[in-house]
Copies of this chain bind each other. A is one copy, B any other.
Amino acid sequence: MTPKNITTLLEASWAASDSLLCVGLDPEPARFPGRYSGDSGSVFEFCRDIVDATHDLVCAFKPQIAYFAAVGAEGALERLIAHIRAVAPHVPLILDAKRGDIGPTAVQYAREAFDRYGADAVTVNPYLGYDTVEPFVERGSVFVLCRTSNPGSGDLQSLDVGGEPLYRRVARDLAQRFGQSGRVGLVVGATYPAELAVVREAVGTMPLLVPGIGAQGGDAASLAPALTPSGGVVVNSSRAVLYASDGADFADASRRVALETRDTLRAVRAA
């Protein structure tokens, strides 16, 4: 099978959806609304309802595998992905797994992401070195962690390496090594807008996966420097969309938040 080219897939998706929004699927049974409240047996059903309510508003879906693995719900993840492919066949699917290991083990993680789950792209961690990214890029597409959205992300990522911060070095190295492939993007948090601009400057038009909007407090306007003519950014919102309401109206409430977020992002793009 030809490895999926995430740049091509996203360009089609940004155009078709006119949306930069990615809905992150992070199912936490303790936060489930309405009739699913607290039920770890309803992981598939809850996520399915969110997908059904939002799939015409997004440029991508991003299941976070940790939430499935914590409750032994790999089967629910497989069913969910089959459902997404059925109702939204042109929406790229990014498996958020932040994998990273030495070569032979990276091959196994690539099989997990691309063969087992059929993801278009998977998130990976660059700390082990670029040879450990290769097995993923040979089999599919990746978003490599660059500048993450959490408070402590600077502990390593902001250290000065020869006159630039480590995250910028990672961005430049990846652009040089994989920029032409169309199969590599970067993860840069919306909570660090200045860094988002630095990364865009360093990597040309490579796609950026941008978490941190919504519950994490990132501001949509700060995305402006990261945009490209075709789109350029996949802006993830998970909790703000998923848990928009505790009640039986949760799917409608999720759609409302997704719509507002999509429109906010559209306005940034139009400005």
Q: Output the least CB separation between A82 and chain B (Å).
A: 14
Q: Which of A15-23, A151-159, A195-203, A255-263 is the contact stretch?
A: A151-159
Nearest B residue to A109 via CB reads B66
Dominant secondary structure at the A interface: helix
Which residues from chain B contact A26 at a C-beta distance below 8 Å?
104-105
A sample of 9 more A-B contacts (CB under 8 A), given A129-B152, A161-B161, is A70-B109, A70-B112, A98-B100, A100-B125, A125-B128, A129-B148, A129-B150, A131-B151, A159-B166
Tallying the copies of this chain within the complex gives: 2
* Residue contact A126 to B156, C-beta cutoff 8 Å: yes
Report A's interface with B, CB cutoff 8 A: 26, 28, 64, 66-67, 69-72, 74, 98-106, 108-109, 111-112, 115-116, 125-132, 145, 148-157, 159-162, 166, 169-170, 173, 211
Task: Provide a sorted-by-A list of 5 A–B residue pairs whose CB atoms are within 8 angstroms.
Answer: A28-B108, A70-B111, A71-B111, A128-B148, A159-B161
Question: Chain B residues with Cβ under 8 A from A154's Cβ?
Answer: 129
Residues of chain B contacted by A72 (CB below 8 angstroms)? 74, 116
Contact A156–B170 (Cβ < 8 Å): yes
Structural contact, A70 and B152, CB atoms closer than 8 A: no
